[in-house]
Every structure is written in structure tokens, then in C-alpha cells.
Amino acid sequence: MSRALAAAEGLATAWTAFYTRDLPAEVRERRRREIASDVWEHEHAALAAGEHAVAVAVDILLRVVRGMAADVLWGWSTLRGRGAGSPLTGRVVIMVNRLVIAAGVAVTAFLGVYFLANGFSIGFGAGGDQGELYPLYGIIEMVAGLLLLAGVGIGPRRPRLAVAAIAVGAVAISVTHVWLLVLNIPATIAVIGAAVWRMRSASRQEGPPATAAATS
């Protein structure tokens, strides 16, 4: 198994262990085993279809991230003894996801503009005479800023490319701000991944519920 797939599988397992930790043993074990099965089936079906391991890992990661709000709400309602038929309907999930979208896009766009401006400043402005590496740092920050903005811009149409652009931008920023490495890559990918995929699926969840007379 590739490192990317192992990491995606590990993240899915860790997240499931986290949000099910306080649930009754039977419910907890069922959800954990179902997710383990799903991830295994996903990996093997996609690899058998000829998909690249990294693309499969990104897909698994995005499925985890996109479902986080639903997972947490399901956990809360199960703890309160309401089970999956909770009155916390899809509308609450949509509201939480919209907040995630807004926060993710706003933070990423802000960082993009900041690094673009800061890169220009230290590369060609006030910091330009403070050392021979400053112009290089400036260019790197400008490229990183552009990648973040490009990721936000193309997110709704090309989610995979957007996540890749933002990930490369985050790595580029870490060249000039090494201490950010441990934070910016997972956080940016997670937030923007959730944001762009929720945008794509928002219309699906907002569709009018159909009446099923036979169930009432």
C-alpha cells in the first residue's frame, strides 16, 4: 500500500475512532467496522479501475472531511438516544457546512492576498535590500499567494486541482515560514476540501424532500 493510501486510511480510522469514542459499544463497533470496510472497498475498487494511489487517497480524505459535520451531529444525536433518525436533519448539516465553506474560503483568500502583498513587499519593496535571499522569498510568497487564490477561484469547478494548488501553495509558504509546516498543510487541505465539495453538493442536499405516504 502506498504511503498516501496508508495516511488516508489512518486518518479515516482515527476520525471514526474519535467521534465514536463515547458511543455505546455496539454502535461504536458497527460504525468503525463499516467505515473500515468502506475504505477498503474504495481503495481496491479504485486501484482496480486504474486510478492513481494519490488520487484515491485524496478521494477517501475528501469523503471523510465532507462527512465530518454529519458524523458529529450523528454522534450527538446517538448519545442523546435518538439514533440516526434524529430531528437534526440535513438542514443543520447544510448550515454547519456553509459556515465551514465561508470560513475556509475567507481564510484562504485572505492568506492568498496577504502572501501576495507580503511577497511583493519583501521581494521588491522595503525588504529588498536586507539580504540577497529576500527577493527569492518574496517571489516564493507571491507564487504561494497566487496558488491559494487560484485554488479558491477554481474550487467549485475543479475541486481536485484546487486542493492540489492550495497544497502546493501551503508547501511553498512553509519554505519561508518553516514553523507553519505542521499546521498549514493539513488545515488548509481539510478546510478547502470540505468547502469545495460542499459547494458542489449543496444543490443536492437542498432539494425538496419527497413525501412518502407509505411510511407515515
Partner 1 sequence: MRRKPGTLLPIELDILDAALTLRRRGEDEFHGFGIAQEVAASSERARGLTSHGTLYKALGRLEDAGLLESRWEDPTIAVEERRPPRRLYAVTGAGERAYHAARATTRAASTPARPRLEPS
Which residues are near partner 1 by CB under 8 A?
12, 16, 30-31, 33-38, 40-42, 44-45, 59, 62-71, 73-74, 83-85, 87-93, 197, 200-201, 203-205, 207-216
The CA-atom distances, in angstroms, between 189 and each of 41, 76, 210 are 24, 26, 35
The CA-atom distances, in angstroms, between 114 and each of 109, 117, 216 are 8, 5, 55
Hey, CA dihedral for 51, 151, 61, 8, is it positive or negative?
positive
CB of 17 to partner 1, least distance (A): 13
Output 31 or 123, the one with its CB closest to partner 1.
31
Output 92 or 171, the one with its CB closest to partner 1.
92
d(CA 167, CA 148) in angstroms, rounded, equals 8
Hey, CA dihedral for 140, 141, 142, 144, is it positive or negative?
positive
CB of 2 to partner 1, least distance (A): 18
CB of 115 to partner 1, least distance (A): 30
Output 45 or 103, the one with its CB closest to partner 1.
45
Output 130 or 215, the one with its CB closest to partner 1.
215
CB atoms within 10 A of CB 188: 23
CB of 86 to partner 1, least distance (A): 8
